[in-house]
């Protein structure tokens, strides 16, 4: 009985060590976030914003006098406390689903609902680079 107990104890110890190690990895999400922020290709993000978002939005100082009607500038959106979440999921917030698709995330567009203007298709990597670039933009100062 005794050797059996010892094996069980060793196994349990291994299990707890593994569990603690996994917990530590799970508890350090910042590592991953910093790594992906550094890895973001800001030049590609900027090019994507210029190509796609300036169609409707004023983006930084790319198109100060551009943008469509009441579409908020990115600087204005960034004054909202939850701007980051809004950008993270912009493609599901109206009006974007009518024109934007993220490959592997968005559902296929139904044939009876074609994009109302030229379709914007982003890969997940392009989305990350775009969000990385938007991170670098200043927020508007309305004072």
The residues that touch ligand HEC, with contacts defined as CB under 6 A, are 52-53, 55-57, 71-72, 77, 86-87, 90, 93-96, 99, 120
Instruction: Find the shortest distance in angstroms from Cβ 117 to ligand HEC.
Output: 6
Q: Cα(10)–Cα(99) distance, rounded to whole angstroms?
A: 57
C-beta of 23 vs 138, nearer to ligand HEC: 138
Instruction: Find the shortest distance in angstroms from Cβ 55 to ligand HEC.
Output: 4
C-beta of 14 vs 95, nearer to ligand HEC: 95
C-beta of 31 vs 117, nearer to ligand HEC: 117
DSSP 8-state class, residue 73: P
C-beta of 24 vs 65, nearer to ligand HEC: 65
Instruction: Find the shortest distance in angstroms from Cβ 137 to ligand HEC.
Output: 11
Is residue 121 classed as helix, strand or coil in its secondary structure?
Answer: strand
Instruction: Find the shortest distance in angstroms from Cβ 36 to ligand HEC.
Output: 17
Q: Cα(47)–Cα(130) distance, rounded to whole angstroms?
A: 8
Contacts of 65 (CB under 8 A, 6+ apart): none
- 22-59 burial: b if 16+ Cβ within 10 Å, else e: eeeeeeeeeeeeeeeeeebbeebbbebbeebbbbbbbb
């Amino acid at each position: 009985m005794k050797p059996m107990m010892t094996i069980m104890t060793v196994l349990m110890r291994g299990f707890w060590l593994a569990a603690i190690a996994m917990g530590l990895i799970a508890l350090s999400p910042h590592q991953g976030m910093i790594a992906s922020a550094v890895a973001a290709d800001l030049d590609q993000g900027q090019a994507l914003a210029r190509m796609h978002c300036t169609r409707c939005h004023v983006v930084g100082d790319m198109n100060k006098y551009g943008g469509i009607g009441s579409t908020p500038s990115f600087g204005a959106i960034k004054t909202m406390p939850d701007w980051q979440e809004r950008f993270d999921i912009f493609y599901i917030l109206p009006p974007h689903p009518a024109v934007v698709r993220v490959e592997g995330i968005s559902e296929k567009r139904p044939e009876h609902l074609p994009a109302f203007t030229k379709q914007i298709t982003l890969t997940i990597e392009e989305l990350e680079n775009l969000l990385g670039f938007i991170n670098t933009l200043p927020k508007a100062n309305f004072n």
